[in-house]
Amino acid sequence: MPLPRLQAEFFARIADPQGVRAIFEHMPGVFFFMKDDQGRHIAANSATFERFGIKSERELVGAMDEKFFPSEVAKAYREDDQRVIRSGKPLINRLEVWYDEQRNLSWFLCTKLPVLDKRGKVIGVMGITRRDEDRMRHHDVREVTVALQYADQHCHEAMTTGDLARAVGVSERHLHRKLRAALGLSPYELLLRTRIQSAAEDLAKSSTPIIQIALDHGFCDQSAFTQQFRKRTGMTPKEFRRRHQG
C-alpha cells in the first residue's frame, strides 16, 4: 500500500535517512542494532558499542556476531536473523539470558524486524534488546510480579504451573493469560527459564559439578539439563562455564 502523500513528502524531505537512530541514544537500557542479510553488522547505538567492548561504529561495521559472542550464541542469533529474513515477519520480545554491560547475568527481551529495500525485498534485520524489567514497568499487574518473585525464590525446585498459580492465588488459565500479556511467555516457560538463569549463575561463578547444579535446580539428570540449557542459551552448560569463567 503506498504511503499517504503527506507522509511520503515528509520522509522525502528528511536530510539524513539514518537520523531516526538518534532516538536510541536517549533510551537507557536499550541496545539497538542493524545487520544485513549476510549477518554483518551495519549500525548500532553507543550502548551496544559498550556491550560489545568497542569504542566506535568503525569497529562494528562489517563484523559478524562471532566477534562479540561465543560461537554457539552467535549461531543461535543468526538462526533467529535468518528466520526473520526468510519469513519477512518480526520476532517480538524473545526472552534471552545474557550479560548486561556490567557483565552481570540478566534477562533481556529482543525484538527483530525485517529491513526492506525500495522494492520490498528483505535485505537485513534491525532490532532492539532491552531489560525485561523495563517491560514490566509498563505492566502494573500484581499477579505477574508475584509470579516472578515466587519463581525466583523457588528456582531450585521443579514446580508445576499449578503450584505457581496456587502460590499467586489465581487459576492456571488466568496466570497464563497475564504472563503472556506482560512477558510473552507461558508459566511453564517462566519457571524453566528462571531455573536456567539461576543455574547459569552457578556455572559462571562456581566450580560445582554440572550434574550437581542440574539436580540442585530441579532437573532429573544432566542430560535433561543440558538439553534445556542449550535450547535457551545456544550452548551447553560446559561451554557456558568455560567461556564465562574464561
Residue 206 is part of a domain; what is its CATH number? 1.10.10.60
Indicate if 207 and 148 belong to the same structural domain.
Answer: yes
155-205: pLDDT as tens digits: 998 899 999 999 999 999 999 988 887 777 899 999 998 999 899 889 988
Indicate if 36 and 88 belong to the same structural domain.
Answer: yes
Indicate if 146 and 210 belong to the same structural domain.
Answer: yes
Indicate if 123 and 21 belong to the same structural domain.
Answer: yes
Average pLDDT of the segment spanning 199-212: 92
Indicate if 148 and 239 belong to the same structural domain.
Answer: yes
Query: Total structural domains in the chain?
Result: 2
Indicate if 149 and 69 belong to the same structural domain.
Answer: no
Last residue of one domain, picked from the residues 109, 131, 153 = 131
Distance CA(151)–CA(33), nearest Å, equals 31
Indicate if 21 and 126 belong to the same structural domain.
Answer: yes
Indicate if 32 and 120 belong to the same structural domain.
Answer: yes
- So what's the pLDDT on residue 140? 44
Q: When comparing pLDDT for 16 and 97, which is higher?
A: 16
With beta carbons less than 8 A apart as the criterion, state whether 183 and 132 touch. Answer: yes
Q: Read out DSSP for 145-156?
A: HHHHHHHHHTTT
Q: When comparing pLDDT for 118 and 102, which is higher?
A: 118
- So what's the pLDDT on residue 243? 80
Q: Which helix (H) or strand (E) holds 93?
A: strand 91-99
Q: Is the pLDDT of residue 13 over 70?
A: yes
- So what's the pLDDT on residue 235? 85
Q: When comparing pLDDT for 34 and 55, which is higher?
A: 34
- So what's the pLDDT on residue 74? 78
Confidence of residue 63 (pLDDT cuts 50, 70, 90): very high
Indicate if 81 and 198 belong to the same structural domain.
Answer: no
Mean pLDDT, the chain, whole residue set: 84
225 CA to centre of own chain: 20
Distance CA(101)–CA(30), nearest Å, equals 11
Last residue of one domain, picked from the residues 131, 153, 176 = 131
Indicate if 17 and 78 belong to the same structural domain.
Answer: yes
The rounded percent of the chain whose pLDDT value lies above 90 is 40
Name the pTM for this structure: 0.54
The rounded percent of the chain whose pLDDT value lies above 70 is 87
- So what's the pLDDT on residue 107? 67
In terms of residue numbers, what domain contains 74? Answer: 5-131
Among 22-36, 93-107, 111-125, 170-184, the range scoring the smallest mean pLDDT is 93-107
Indicate if 126 and 217 belong to the same structural domain.
Answer: no
Last residue of one domain, picked from the residues 83, 102, 131 = 131
Q: What is the dihedral of CA 192, 193, 199, 203, to 10 degrees?
A: 140
Q: Kindly report the CATH number assigned to the domain that includes residue 52.
A: 3.30.450.20
